[in-house]
Amino acid sequence: MRSRLALWIPLALFAFFAGLAAYMLTQPKQQFVESTMIGQPLPAFALDPAFSGLPGAAKADFTGKPKLLNIWASWCLPCIAEAPQLEALQAQGVEIIGIALRDRPEDVANFLGKYGNPYRRIGSDKISEVQLAIGSSGVPETFVIDAKGVIRYQHIGDIRAGDVPLLLEELEKAQ
Partner 1 sequence: MIAEIGLAALWLAAALAVLQMVSGAASLRAAQGEINPLAIYARPAAIVQAFLAVLAFVTLLYSFAVTDLSLKLVASNSHSMKPMLYKLTGTWGNHEGSMLLWVGVLAASGGLLAGFEKRLPERTMGATLAVQGFVALGFYAFLLFASNPFERLPVPAPEGNGLNPLLQDIGLAIHPPTLYAGYVGLSVAFSLAMGALMTREVNPAFARVMRPWVLGAWVLLTLGITAGSYWAYYELGWGGWWFWDPVENASLMPWLAATALMHSVSVLAARDALRTWTIMLGVLAFSMSMLGTFLVRSGVLTSVHAFAVDPERGAFILGLLGLYIGGAFTIFALRAGAVAEGKRFAVVSREGALVFNNVMLSAILAIVLLGTLYPLLTEAFDVRVSVGPPYFNPAGAIFAVPMLLVMAVGPLLRWKSDKPARLQFELALIAALVIGVIALVCFFGQFPLLPLLGLGLAAALAVAAFLPLKGRNLRRVPVATWGMVIAHFGIAVSLFGMACEGAFSQERLAAVAPGGTEQIGDFAFTLQSVTPVAGPNWTALEAQIAVSQNGGEPVILTPQARNFWSPPQSTSESALLTKWNGQLYAVIGNQAEDGRWQIRVWWKPFVTFIWYGGILIALGGVLAIAGRVRVDVKRRSAASKGAQRRADLEALGAADPVPAE
What is the binding site for partner 1 (CB under 8 A)?
2, 4, 7-8, 10-11, 14-15, 17-18, 20-25, 27, 29
> How near is the Cβ of 89 to partner 1 at its closest, in Å?
30
Considering beta carbons, is residue 23 or 175 the nearer one to partner 1?
23
Considering beta carbons, is residue 24 or 91 the nearer one to partner 1?
24
Query: Are 78 and 157 in contact, with CB atoms under 8 Å apart?
Result: yes
**Whole-angstrom distance, CA of residue 32 vs CA of residue 139:** 12
> How near is the Cβ of 48 to partner 1 at its closest, in Å?
15
Q: Report the amino acid identity of residue 85.
A: Q
Edge to edge, the sheet with strand 141-145 lists 121-125, 96-101, 67-72, 141-145, 151-156
> How near is the Cβ of 22 to partner 1 at its closest, in Å?
6
Considering beta carbons, is residue 29 or 64 the nearer one to partner 1?
29
Cα dihedral: 77, 138, 154, 156 (round 10):
50
Considering beta carbons, is residue 101 or 171 the nearer one to partner 1?
101
Q: Which residues are registered as beta bridge partners of 101?
A: 125
